[in-house]
């Protein structure tokens, strides 16, 4: 099993060569990174601005520019964006631009903050082509095909790109991933998994418990099978070393996040939830080093897991190969 990358600065994993986009450490000493945001129709945009743009903030970054874009066929995107835009303008002093291209000369790094995964490839493209390091908020895209396309584009231009749910950095998830249980035999991650008609089922909100599962299990999932009910999903992955990892997606009853790890010595369970400051800490290290804390291969496998879960549902719960899912997505490009 290949273990998932955790945020430990000394051992951050780099997805690919970054020489063209990564300033030297000496050059970046004391630098305040100018952040540009795209989207602003998700609460994450105001959450991140409220962390970075306060007077008390000691992190070396400030949100200075933004481009507002929404998705007309997603009501929450349309309804919530005006309030978020107003807060970024009036409370946090963010300048707004008419286009991504107009914003790019005025920022060092870009955060894609559109709630909809479908436009992320188009939104990231001009930033990548301009050599700006990019973070893409969850979901990285609305298909595995687009996730692969984003990473291929980034590799072509030697620009660092990454994406992650903030749950990866929650103290409970990190503890579950790093506690010595005598060797993991199985892990269960659970959390809310509401659906959105324009996204594969788990990519809208189920990405959070899926990301937590891969933080604990690492990569190496071979097959995925899914049991679906209107209020619940149980998605089970079989890993190459015989371990089993499962995601329980909750749509009825109380929704909470957590992970349970079954080991040869002990069983541990940890609650989880939002971890915005921890994600921002990982982001600062990324801005300084140009090294993504989650590598491309891990994110591609996470999205293959979610896409395979949809295919298993279509096949009545039959197992679906991760390798074949990735191969199919690459062929569709």
Beta-strand relationship, 232-239 and 221-229? antiparallel
- pLDDT score of 28: 58
Q: How far apart are CA 187 and CA 77, in angstroms?
A: 34
Q: Could you tell me the CATH superfamily of domain 167-275+304-331?
A: Dihydrodipicolinate Reductase; domain 2 (3.30.360.10)
How many C-beta neighbours within 10 Å does residue 196 have? 17
Cis peptide before 139 (omega within 30 of 0): yes
Continuous segment of H or E residues that includes residue 276 = helix 276-289
Among left, alpha and beta (phi > 0; psi -120 to 50; other), residue 242 is left
Continuous segment of H or E residues that includes residue 292 = none
Determine contact, residues 248/188, Cβ cutoff 8 Å.
Answer: yes
Q: How far apart are CA 180 and CA 266, in angstroms?
A: 9
- CA atoms 25, 30, 36, 40: torsion sign: positive
- pLDDT score of 266: 98
SS3 sequence, 192-208? ECCCCCCCCHHHHCCHH
Determine contact, residues 265/179, Cβ cutoff 8 Å.
Answer: no
Determine contact, residues 293/7, Cβ cutoff 8 Å.
Answer: yes
Per-residue pLDDT of the chain (333 residues; tens, 9 = 90+): 443 434 333 333 333 333 345 544 434 557 899 999 999 999 999 999 999 999 999 999 999 999 999 999 999 999 999 999 999 999 999 999 999 999 999 999 999 999 999 999 999 999 999 999 999 999 999 999 999 999 999 999 999 999 999 999 999 999 999 999 999 999 999 999 999 999 999 999 999 999 999 999 999 999 999 999 999 999 999 999 999 999 999 999 999 999 999 999 999 999 999 899 999 999 999 999 999 999 999 999 999 999 999 999 999 999 999 999 999 999 997
Domain ranges within the chain, ordered by starting residue: 13-166+280-293, 167-275+304-331
What does CATH list as the number for 13-166+280-293? 3.40.50.720
Determine contact, residues 33/61, Cβ cutoff 8 Å.
Answer: yes
- pLDDT score of 30: 77
- pLDDT score of 17: 35
- pLDDT score of 81: 98
């Amino acid at each position: 099993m290949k273990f998932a990358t955790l945020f430990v600065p000394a051992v951050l994993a780099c997805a690919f060569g970054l020489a063209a986009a990564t300033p030297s450490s000496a050059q970046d000493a004391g630098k305040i990174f100018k952040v540009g945001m795209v989207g602003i129709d998700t609460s994450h945009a105001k959450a991140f601005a409220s962390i970075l743009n306060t007077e008390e903030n000691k992190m070396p970054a400030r949100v200075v520019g933004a481009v507002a874009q929404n998705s007309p066929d997603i009501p929450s995107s349309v309804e919530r964006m005006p309030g978020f835009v107003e807060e970024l303008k009036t409370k946090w002093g963010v300048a707004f631009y008419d286009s991504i291209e107009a914003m790019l000369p005025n920022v060092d790094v870009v955060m894609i903050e559109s709630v909809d995964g479908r436009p992320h490839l188009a939104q990231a493209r001009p930033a990548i082509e301009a050599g700006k390091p990019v973070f893409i908020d969850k979901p990285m895209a609305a298909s595995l095909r687009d996730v692969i396309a984003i990473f291929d584009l980034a590799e072509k231009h030697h620009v660092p790109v990454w994406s992650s749910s903030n749950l990866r950095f929650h103290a409970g998830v990190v503890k579950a991933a790093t506690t010595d249980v005598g060797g993991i035999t199985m892990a269960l991650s659970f959390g809310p998994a509401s659906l959105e008609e324009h996204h594969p089922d788990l990519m809208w909100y189920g990405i959070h418990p899926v990301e937590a599962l891969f933080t604990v299990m690492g990569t190496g999932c071979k097959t995925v099978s899914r049991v679906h009910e209107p209020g619940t999903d149980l998605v089970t992955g079989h890993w190459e070393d015989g371990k089993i990892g499962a995601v329980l997606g909750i749509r009825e009853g109380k929704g909470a996040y957590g992970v349970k790890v079954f080991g040869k010595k002990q069983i541990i369970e940890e609650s989880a939830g939002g971890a915005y400051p921890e994600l921002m800490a990982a982001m600062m290290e990324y801005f300084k080093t140009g090294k993504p804390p989650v590598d491309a291969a891990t994110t591609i496998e996470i999205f293959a897991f979610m896409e395979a879960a949809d295919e298993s549902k279509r096949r009545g719960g039959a197992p679906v190969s991760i390798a074949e899912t990735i191969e199919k997505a690459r062929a569709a490009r």
